[in-house]
Amino acid sequence: MPASKIVYSTKATATGGGRDGTSKTHDGALDLKMAPPTEMGGSGDGVNPEQLFAAGYAACFLGAMRAYARGKKIDVPSDAAVTATVGIGPRDDNGFGIAVEIDVSLPGLPDDVADDLIAGGHHVCPYSDATRGSLTITPRRAS
């Protein structure tokens, strides 16, 4: 569901070859050299879109999970962590597809509480919502 009121927006511009060029935000907070990973025939000498997506998704999911927990009056451990693994590969229609695995570490919480927080975080996370139905997303407790 789209936001009913936008409270923040940002802009970024990619130049050069897209995956092999630069990408920077208009406020200058990010100014990155982009390069395809070696697994995709690139130099690996820069950041790639999957790394950026993984970092953003992990941070967003952790924040969403904390917000969900606050609503349920559950304290999330200060050492909680979310690791997002983003994979890319060819699809049968000659395009590319993305798969995401989200591993959540909630030390000290009972399994049923942790599972509820992970499910709730996935439900309210804007990244999860924006990609629901278009990506394979697997949220789970970290082992």
Q: Specify the pLDDT at position 63.
A: 98
* C-beta pairs of 117-124 under 8 Å, 24+ apart in sequence: 117/65, 117/68, 117/69, 117/74, 117/76, 118/65, 120/65, 120/68, 120/69, 120/72, 121/61, 121/62, 121/64, 121/65, 121/66, 121/68, 122/61, 122/64, 123/68, 124/64, 124/67, 124/68
Superfamily (CATH H level) for 49-141: K homology (KH) domain (3.30.300.20)
Give the CATH number of domain 1-47. Answer: 2.20.25.10
> What are the boundaries of each domain within the chain?
1-47, 49-141
**Mean pLDDT over each residue of the chain, to the nearest integer:** 93
Residue 4: pLDDT band (50, 70, 90) is confident
Give the global pTM: 0.90
Residue 1: pLDDT band (50, 70, 90) is low
Residue 115: pLDDT band (50, 70, 90) is very high
> Alpha-carbon Rg of the chain, whole angstroms?
17
Q: Specify the pLDDT at position 17.
A: 87
Residue 71: pLDDT band (50, 70, 90) is very high
> Taking a C-beta distance cutoff of 8 angstroms, is the pair 93, 120 a contact?
no
Domain 1-47 shares a fold with domain 49-141: no
